[in-house]
Chain A
């Protein structure tokens, strides 16, 4: 879990006719607004430094215009950077030759798109086999693989349909199967579930989490939805105006937001469903009583804790080692929205 798979270093992206000419000004701290008004360039990304651990789901979240889709497209270089490095397994993607880059895209990183990006002229099976066919895999093997992955995402029997015959949720399953079929270690998901309605979105998140339990891919997941980010993310980086404003453990971000922008973000989340016991427990103090897993969310824990005579429970890890304990009070205060003192002068708007 601690291996770093993708290391983003000092990445800058400026859109406009002559991005290099204004790079130094951006480095000197010119704001997005000034850059646009005085130089006619749009600041896309500003000094991004993110370490993405191997085999985990790293969520990059931000509102529209924050640069998150631009950022993910730098990982496989669908967008050329203005400056910076994108080190994947020790290689800088942004410095690769054309052929090396094609090879990287074929074998190392695959992608799932917000608008699915399926090829309407190919059948579902052909779409899933696309990455393999591009790699040069023999057709027969590509077909076998494609059927296998369609089966895995629950679309067996739809092989010969065309994408236009499927619903949005099913189309994105095809998109996911296509990305998984190439066996790439890195899976880039650009707002992959944002175009789906809420029930189907939760459904797809489950599909992804189930698959991840077994496949252990390095997943970079872009979203604008904090609930989604907290649900699936092992780590989260929050982007605003092209810069990272906080990154780390999701639990940590909820408990200690370091910016008013993030405070605003976490105002409306369902705390009962995202805060886990390990975040609130008192470490080391074991008591006599029920043991609950550290990753249980408050919503599930509340009735269990309330039911005990002690009004408190032990918190254990997956191997049942006691890590600490939690009492009813801690659970209830955890559910309440913390009062945040914000100075109107300092507000980001």
Chain B
């Protein structure tokens, strides 16, 4: 169980000019739940994910993962960035093994884990490639494999498919949903694509920009496993309209 309690983040951009990017945000995510945060772009959502990852401190409020306060990065929380952030000097295989190489681990075990995620992400043939020689979709699969190889319980995804073309994005969504069915990790998925959010998540939170706050919560009822065909149904379209409407209306209306 992940709990965010009254999180606030204020950036001190210049003397006497404070910018509040997150305002009194409270949120809880159950184990194995897939939630999506959807709303207009602003820096708040990325900051929120980085806080949960332990990369950025909050100004006030508390974050608990299974009652344990979060204050620094930890292997049980994996983060995937929009721009892939692969290490360009490492091959696909070595990128995936990065986290495993940091801890003392049996070489055989390491090898097995890396091979497993190469297979799951369909990158076996590209194990010795450098990131620069891969397409955007493949690079993001490497980033996913690299994070999963660390075996986190919580997966933080910051618009992971935002820079991909429509077709690749659609394929990556199916890839992610299949993976999630298998591994059932807790996921916080940030996106500004309403369809993506509804297709992937159990719960969709519509957020406000600057400062970031939860505006409305939607429990998405579609059964799992979900497939691409779902996106073509009338029910899906109705949900899309409803969520899009929630985003478009002004706060306080």
Whether both chains belong to one complex is answered with no
- Which residue numbers of A lie inside 8 Å of B, CB to CB? none
